[in-house]
A and B are shown apart, each in its own frame.
Chain A
């Protein structure tokens, strides 16, 4: 079975550039979560969707971050403009109902 698919796996870009991270959840899952992982802050929830609707975006750091889920099989996390402190590994996870969340292998983002 295909798991959560994230792209790109690695992204290196200069500060000020727009960054778009992509996620394809597991088919049939109705909730999708975006996390950020850093050494200093660990794994933090940024935003999550239920049935394609954003439910809680209180973890989004600031207005430079935005997320969309246009349909049940695709979500994006966008950073515009990007800053060096946004460098981290970004994970997407999905789940069905009250089942455990399943994570993708992340996008390692480096902002120079």
Chain B
């Protein structure tokens, strides 16, 4: 069945360091992947997305890497700041590439130490 999983439930980093959050997916038919950030008491906030015809995409301080061979996705945050502390979710579209349906992973908590 479809599943999106995260390797580590909690990641603790020092302020100023780079963070890498990993995600594994199981459906090889997925062609769209997305990362969300969720702060306490708020809804998931879009960070960055990537389609399967790319293996890397950069945003402001964030980079998403996609390795289709091993079905792995990662989110890199440069110069991590206290405001980056949140739960990060990856999601894939599974076999529903044109419907907008997303399958979410369980989330990784990022803790930034001052």
Contacts and interface: CB of A to CB of B under 8 A. Distances in A.
Interface of A: 4, 31, 33, 42-45, 48, 50, 55-56, 91, 93, 95, 98, 100-106
Main secondary structure of the interface of A (DSSP, over half): strand
A24 B101 CA distance: 19
Interface string B19-42: 000000000000000101000011
B43 A4 contact: yes
Contacts, number: 45
Give the one of A43, A93, A106 with max B CB within 10 A.
Answer: A43
Contacts of A45: 101-103
Contact of B43 (A50, A55, A103): A103
Nearest to A33: B100
Contacts of A93: 43-44
B100 A101 contact: yes
Contact of A103 (B45, B99, B100, B101): B45
